[in-house]
Each structure stands twice: as structure tokens, then as C-alpha cells.
Amino acid sequence: MGALLKALSKKKLKLKRSYEKWAFTAFLHPKTQELRSFTLKIAENSLKNQEFIEVKQNYLQSADPTVVQGFLLREDISRLFKNRYADQTSERILIHVPSAESSPAGFSLFTNLAECLNYLGVPTAILGWNQDSNEVVESFKPTVFLTSEHDSYLNRVDWNGIAKYKTRHKLKVGITAPLLENDTAPNTEKLLWAIENKIDFLYSFRDVDYVNSQPVYKAFANAGLPLLCLPWGANVLRYYPVPGCERDLDYVLIASRKREHIVYMKEIAKCYPGFIDGPGWNHINNFSFNRDRDRYIYSRAKVGLNIHLPEQLNNVYELNERTYQLAACGAPQLIDHPKLLDKTFSKEAIFIAENPKEYTELFLELINNPVLGQKAALLAQQEVFSKHTTFHRAEAFLKQLEKMNS
């Protein structure tokens, strides 16, 4: 009887969530679908004319203070990090990057890291999703190779070939720290695989203070595997506000659909037209990832919507990449309350909701009083450019590599 009740409860929950997805699409504001198509066309056309739009004069004459400030901050940080490590490291870094279709988040994260490492003057190449690992390794001759512990990554690498290469060349291989769901324990099977395949180090996207405070991570040190931290940040080579865009979209969300989006957004999406894009949404069947285009969309947002996963709310370990991207683009950000947020941004920089009801109320406040959003967006933009760009993350990672090798 107990097993039957459990099965019925599970079925009931599944039906409830299916209904929620259906209802979100059914009651979506009637203009949202049309607005998406129109917005994408404008953004893609703007990107084609980038050389005429993104000129210094247009930035400095913009009526949007986040555009002016973003331009000046980007100029400063670009000068600061350009070829900063060109003569300071002998590393050559190869990064395994999934296709945008198979993993938009993985593609974004790893391509942004590779681009910023190259900008810092560190020779960095990409091992594409369908490339032969032996050919790329022999051609590029990396000293560091980064991939993930996920089977979809590991199965695309010839590990015998990597082992042979390591007998002839200096190469350190790093994979993401193998953990069970919610960091409850190490994934013993993957940890043993890492040891057997002579993986040299692990890395994590978690916050460094969280990693250092959690006993679960000590198992890796006990296994002789150093652990490096590589939190997400904003790649300001791609994400920044652009001139010529009016903040005329009530809201923007570019994200893979999760149940949490539906719970938090249903009232907003029903009553207001906005821009929603990403994989998994029932009303979208032609999503394509384009990080260059997205800044032309974020720059039109009256409110940038952002929702985290439950585990990010309950642990002080990470913010999603979108948190940093919205801040860099000067979009006033409405967010739920991941615990790491309080450590990363000041409370005046981002609008934080503790529950779906408060999320809707804060959205209405931002729509009715745009000055509030602009003030917060300027502060968030200053904070992200000062310490939370992918340049900062890449530099910290290089310092950890150097310390590991010393």
C-alpha cells in the first residue's frame, strides 16, 4: 500500500507540473510571441551594423547613463588586462567546449573563459565537441587541458592518447570536481576514474570560501588531487550595454526553462509582454544561442529577470552566469535570493525577492518607477566591472595554477 501511495503521489506531482507548464504557455501575454520575433530581428540587424553603432561618439552621447558608464568601465578594464600575462606564463591552455546545441550553459562558460585567457595573453585553444582530441593536442601542444567529469565530455576524449602524450610532453589535466547531487558526497566512481587516469587536478565553479568550508571537498585533497576554483563572471568582451537602444522591453529573460521560472514569472508573463528566449520553453521551437546578439536585447530591458535553481538558493556557493551578464549590460535586475548574492553584490545593486509574490510586486515597482532600476543598475555595473568579470576569474585561475605548480 505504501508503494502504491508513493507512486500515486509522484504521478500527481508530475501532472501538476505538466499543467503548470501548459498554463504558463496558454496564459502568456498574447504579444510576447510576436515581440520575440521582432526583437530578434532588430538585434540581429543591429549586430550586422555593429561597426556603425558601437562607436565612441555614440556611447558618450547616449542618454542612458549605463551605456556611458559601461563604455568607460570597459575601456579601463580592457587596457588593464590586455596581454597582462603575455610574458608572465608559459602555459598553453586547451579547453573542452560542448556545442551550443548540446549545452548552451557549458558552451557559454567555456568559450568565455577561452576568449578571456587569450585576451590576457595566454595561448588558449578550444577542443570542439566533434574534434579529434589527439589531433588537437598534437597540433596545439597544451600544458593544461580542462574538461568536465561528465560522461558526455569524457567519452569524447581519447584518454590513451592523452596518457601517451603526457609521457613525451608536460601536460596537466583538470576535470570538474566529481560530486553527488547537492554536494552531499564525492562521486566515488568518478574519483577512482580520475586517479586511475592520472588526472592532475580538479576545479569547481563554486565560491572559494564555500569550497574551503565544506568537509566534502577534503576528500579530493586526501586523494592527492588539488582543487582550483573558477566561479562564473561576466565576459565584458561580449556583454556590455550598447548605444541606440531604448529600454522599451518590460522584461527580458534568456535562459533554459526551469520549473522555478514558471513559479516566479507566471503573473508577470500573463499581464505584461516581454522577451523570453532559451531552450525548453513550450512556445519556442527555434532557439539559437548567440552571445554577441544578446547584448542588443539586454540593453533594451526595463527589467532583467533572473531565477536560480533551488540548490543555489539553499547554499552559499554560486550565482548563475546571467547575474553577472545582466549587471554588465546595465539591465536593472530582479532576482530571487541565492545565498551567495549577499556576499557578491551590495543590497542596493539588485532587487531581491524572497518569494513569487514579492517578485511580482518588485517588478511592478520597477516598471512604475524606472529611476529606481537605473540607480541600482549603475551600481551593479560598477561592482561587476570592478571584481566579477571573466578577466578577474581567469587571472585568479592562472594564479592558482602557478601555486599548484610551485
CB neighbour class for 94 (10 Å; exposed up to 12, middle 13-18, buried from 19) = buried
Distances (CA, A) of 35 to 32, 245, 275: 5, 15, 7
pLDDT tens-digit map of 310-324: 989 988 889 999 999
pLDDT tens-digit map of 224-233: 999 999 999 9
H helix intervals, 142-234: 151-154, 159-168, 188-196, 208-213, 218-222
Q: How confident is the model at residue 19 (pLDDT cuts 50, 70, 90)?
A: confident
Number of residues that this document lists for the chain: 406
Looking at the domain covering 24-67+239-388, what would its CATH class be?
A: alpha beta
248 pLDDT exceeds 70? Answer: yes
The rounded distance, in Å, linking the Cα atoms of 120 and 237 is 12
Report, as an integer, the average pLDDT of 15-21: 81
The residues of the chain that CATH labels 3.40.50.2300 are 84-233+391-405
Q: In percent, how much of the chain has pLDDT > 90?
A: 86
Task: Using alpha carbons, select from 308, 311, 310, 309 the residue that is nearest to residue 324.
Answer: 308
pLDDT tens-digit map of 338-366: 999 999 999 999 999 999 999 999 999 99
Domain 84-233+391-405 has CATH 3.40.50.2000: no
The residues of the chain that CATH labels 3.40.50.2000 are 24-67+239-388
Stronger pLDDT, 151 or 20, i.e. the higher one: 151
Q: Give the H or E element holding residue 115.
A: helix 104-119
Phi, psi of 253 (to 5 degrees): -140, 120
Q: How crowded is the C-beta side of 72, counted as CA atoms within 13 Å?
A: 10
Entry pTM = 0.94
Question: Which residues lie across from 228 on neighbouring strands?
Answer: 203
Residue 336 region by backbone torsions, left for phi larger than 0, else alpha for psi between -120 and 50, else beta: beta
Cell of 225: 588531487
